[in-house]
Amino acid sequence: MLVTNKELQHAAKKGKYAVGAFNTSNIEITQAIIEAHEEMNAPVIIATSTSAIKYCGIEVLSAVVRQMAWQAKIPISLHLDHGTDFNLIVDCLRNGWTSIMIDGSHAPLKENIAITREITKMGHAVGVSVEAELGRLGGIEDNISVDERDARLTDPDEAERFVKETECDTLAIAIGTSHGAYKFKGEAKLAFDR
């Protein structure tokens, strides 16, 4: 069955376990993800990227995941990961995604809040959970010099404001973790105090 990321995350918090998220772009990868998680009796987030949707086609990818999830014995979420294109996000909402990520981290805070708030309203109106990302700039901003490492870490006060104003369900934060373009570059030092 398809559920939202919010539902999976609430159950995981209550049960004190993690939920894996794995990207797919075709039938074989989707089948492997679901079979592995059924074997472990573990829920899973099946994530899709913009390029995977372009490769497979939005209707086909939706149909594949939805049909396989309907037959599965575990809860599954269909998640758009790092959505930056408004029209693609709307298409995902129309084609059965149960969770979307609006990644406005490249934009200034005020603009990121505005677009995230709009996407959150649309997602919630159709029962879809929304994840957002809060970006940070390095170097000097508004005459304030910031250590390069600290500049990439999420400011807790900014995060609190962002969540209150956008009403997003989850927020991707930076506490020294490494992924995407920064993956495996240098040693990860987690800022647990944040």
Please say if the pLDDT value at position 72 is more than 90.
yes
| Cα 97 to Cα 49: distance, rounded to the nearest angstrom | 12
What pLDDT digit, counting tens, does each position of 11-31 carry?
Answer: 999 999 999 999 999 999 999
* Buried residues in 60-93 as b, exposed as e (16+ CB within 10 A): ebbebbbebbeebebbbbbbbbbbbeeebbebbb
Model confidence at 190, pLDDT cuts 50, 70, 90, reads: confident
Which residues are identified as catalytic? 81
Q: What is the pTM of this model?
A: 0.88
Q: List all residues 6 or more positions away from 158 whose beta carbon is below 8 Å from its beta carbon.
A: 109, 134
Sheet holding 129-133, edge to edge: 20-23, 44-48, 76-83, 99-102, 129-133, 170-172
What pLDDT digit, counting tens, does each position of 87-138 carry?
Answer: 999 999 999 999 999 999 889 999 999 999 999 999 999 999 999 998 754 4
What pLDDT digit, counting tens, does each position of 37-49 carry?
Answer: 999 999 999 999 9
Please say if the pLDDT value at position 142 is more than 70.
no
